[in-house]
Amino acid sequence: MAHRILVVDDDHELRETISEILVDAGFLVANASSGEEALNILAGQTFDLVLLDMIMPGLGGQEILPLLKRQAPRTRIIMITAFATVENAVAAMRKGADDYLTKPFKVDELLTTVRRSLEEARLLDRGLQVEKDSTFSCLANSIRRDILKLIGREQRLRFMDIARHLDIEDHTKMNFHLKMLRSADLVSQDEHKNYVLTSQGARILACLSQIAKDNSPQ
Amino acid sequence: MAHRILVVDDDHELRETISEILVDAGFLVANASSGEEALNILAGQTFDLVLLDMIMPGLGGQEILPLLKRQAPRTRIIMITAFATVENAVAAMRKGADDYLTKPFKVDELLTTVRRSLEEARLLDRGLQVEKDSTFSCLANSIRRDILKLIGREQRLRFMDIARHLDIEDHTKMNFHLKMLRSADLVSQDEHKNYVLTSQGARILACLSQIAKDNSPQ
DNA sequence: CCTGTCTGTGAAGAATCCTTCACCACTTGT
DNA sequence: ACAAGTGGTGAAGGATTCTTCACAGACAGG
């Protein structure tokens, strides 16, 4: 699915140039000629990335940036500045921009900056997802669900007690599953090495029993 | 974990003999000398299997059986009858016994019957679990979660529309995941081959978004 | 001190799960 | 009729996950 990009610039000609380059590169592009218009458009739909001119009549990039970040925190923002100065760059980044371009820029420069920024976003998203993935893949295994239920019932249990309760002879197998549960932050160990549920683990367990309950009347 | 077995017989000597055999075979054994005592014990703890003499003074096996089945439906019950008659066997099975032994029996006979019955219970339990396992292993994969969420949002979708929405080029890959979702009974197809959520799928989706919500504020 | 139990690690292989490819029948539009 | 798109199967290989085995430090009890 093509990425959606919003170009915000009061300079009509530059805006059109940028749009054309991006459209040719296969992106879905929308234009805004002022900060106010940009905010309106962003209220109605989401974009993956916004190219934002720092200096515009009315609301400039500097002013919109924090508003924009609050409204759509996951949208990437690339500032466009007239001059490459350290102050400009620092100011932009500090306000929440993810990258910046200095005018004038070449076609390649624009595209690589945009693509790199989108790629970073993707990696970041995936990073956030890792947590959820590990949660669900933990639940995929019935041994781990049993461990979770057991700890939920008994509150706190030693390693070998879990093994005995669940009739698991090979303790390294247990260890494997416990490690997964720990890394998914569903269980943890207290100061005496007892295994206990984390708050996340308790929530999941509630959810789990809810699903099981729904299921049982066939 | 060793299986727990309750031996119910008014004949003291036979009871002790059976107990000894079972204990030696590694089971955890408890004794009851009457039907009433058996019911008392069963009220306090659960057993994997009950060996029940058909004919006893007071409450006999015939009378206890239905009570016992209601109180602990997952406990296996083996009736002990004095004579091997078709009537005895049929009567016992019809009332809910899982197997039966005829007096007198050899050590091996007792043990194989007990072990076979426990094994059957295990398989039966696993059969019940299959449903839940497929549900959770479906959720383990992020593509399938995405499909579920997408269908939840759009209500009904054609095969290729799902592929396009999720930017999946290889439709056979999609098919693989859809097949898993179907076999877990989380999605199904309506008369026009649109994919829709099943009621189970809708429940799971609600659960899923609940977990995601809990997760997001880190 | 020695022995046994507890709680681990790391590596190798088995079992599952996922992706990809080649192919096919069916519908739809032209 | 024929091309393009849809929805599907089966088999092969790659990637992950799970189990098992060999080993080892810590610690408690005799």
Give tens-digit pLDDT for A41-53: 877 677 889 998 8
Q: Do B211 and A164 touch (CB under 8 A)?
A: no
* pLDDT higher than threshold 70 for residue A123: no
> Alpha-carbon distance B135 to B139, whole Å?
7
Which tokens go with B99? 């197997």
Peptide bond preceding A104 in cis form (omega within 30 of 0): yes
- Give the nucleotide with minimal C1' distance to the Cα of A164: C6
> Rounded to 5 degrees, what are φ and ψ at A191?
-65, -25
Instruction: Retrieve residue A138's tokens.
Output: 């933990």
Residue B127 banded pLDDT, cuts 50, 70, 90: low
From the Cβ of B172, is strand C under 7 Å away?
yes
| Contact yes or no for A180/A201 (Cβ under 8 A) | no
- Tell how many helices (H) and how many strands (E) occur in chain B: 9, 8
Residue B169, amino acid: E
Give the range with max mean pLDDT: A74-83, B6-15, B33-42, B164-173: B6-15
Distance CA B27, CA B6 (A): 10
Whole-number pLDDT of residue A84: 60
Q: Which of A99-103, B33-37, B72-76, B153-157 has the highest mean pLDDT?
A: B33-37
Span A77-97, mean pLDDT? 72
- Check pLDDT > 90 for residue B7: yes
Instruction: List CB contacts of B203: < 8 A, sequence separation 6 or more.
Output: A211, A214
How far is the alpha carbon of B124 from chain A, nearest alpha carbon, in Å?
14
- Average of pLDDT values for B187-213? 81
Taking contacts as CB-CB distances below 8 angstroms, the residues of chain A near B146 are none
The answer to whether residues B14 and B55 touch, using CB atoms and an 8 Å cutoff, is no
CA–CA distance, A50 with A116 (Å, rounded to integer): 14
Q: How confident is the model at residue A106 (pLDDT cuts 50, 70, 90)?
A: confident
Q: Which residue has the higher pLDDT, A38 or B213?
A: A38
Decide the pairing of beta strands A195-197 and A187-189: antiparallel
Residues of B in contact with A136 (CB under 8 A): 136, 139-140, 142, 145
Q: Is the pLDDT of residue B89 over 80?
A: no
The pLDDT of residue B47 is 83
Segment A78-83 shows an average pLDDT of 81
* pLDDT beyond 50 at A217: no
Instruction: Flag whether pLDDT at B213 surpasses 60.
Output: no
Q: What percent of chain B has pLDDT over 90?
A: 14
Q: What does the pLDDT average to over B16-45?
A: 85
Average pLDDT score over chain B: 81
Q: Is B168 left (phi over 0), alpha (psi -120 to 50) or beta?
A: beta
8 A C-beta contact, residue A129 and residue B141: no
Categorize the per-residue pLDDT at B216 as very low, low, confident or very high, splitting at 50, 70 and 90. very low
Phi, psi for residue A155 in degrees, rounded to 5: 75, -65
Contact A181, A216 (CB under 8 A): no
The span from the CA of B132 to the CA of A95, in Å, is 48
Asked if the peptide bond before residue A217 counts as cis, ω within 30 degrees of 0, the response is: no
Strands (E), B16-75: 28-32, 49-53
- Alpha carbons A197 and B79: distance in angstroms, whole number: 42
In chain A, the residue whose alpha carbon lies closest to the alpha carbon of B137 is A140
Q: Which of B42, B80, B87, B43 is nearest to B61 (CA)?
A: B80
Which residues share a beta bridge with A76?
A49
Average pLDDT rounded to a whole number, residues B142-150: 89
Q: From the Cβ of B216, is strand C under 7 Å away?
A: no
- Summarize the confidence of residues A100-104 as an average pLDDT: 80
Q: For the whole model, what pTM was predicted?
A: 0.59
- B217, pLDDT greater than 90: no
Bigger pLDDT: A217 vs A218: A217
Contacts of B129 in chain A (CB under 8 A): 142
Interchain contact, A204 vs B215, CB within 8 Å: no
A136 touches chain B (CB under 8 A): yes
B203 in reach of chain A (CB within 8 A): yes
Least confident window among B38-42, B43-47, B135-139: B43-47
Q: At what angle do helices A35-44 and A61-71 cross, to 10 degrees?
A: 10
Which of A21-30, A98-107, B6-15 is predicted with the least confidence, judged by mean pLDDT? A98-107
Query: Which nucleotide is closest to A176, CA to C1'?
Result: D18
Measured from Cα to the C1' atom, the residue closest to C6 is: A160
Between A81 and B2, the more confident residue is A81
Q: How far apart are CA A67 and CA A47, in angstroms?
A: 15
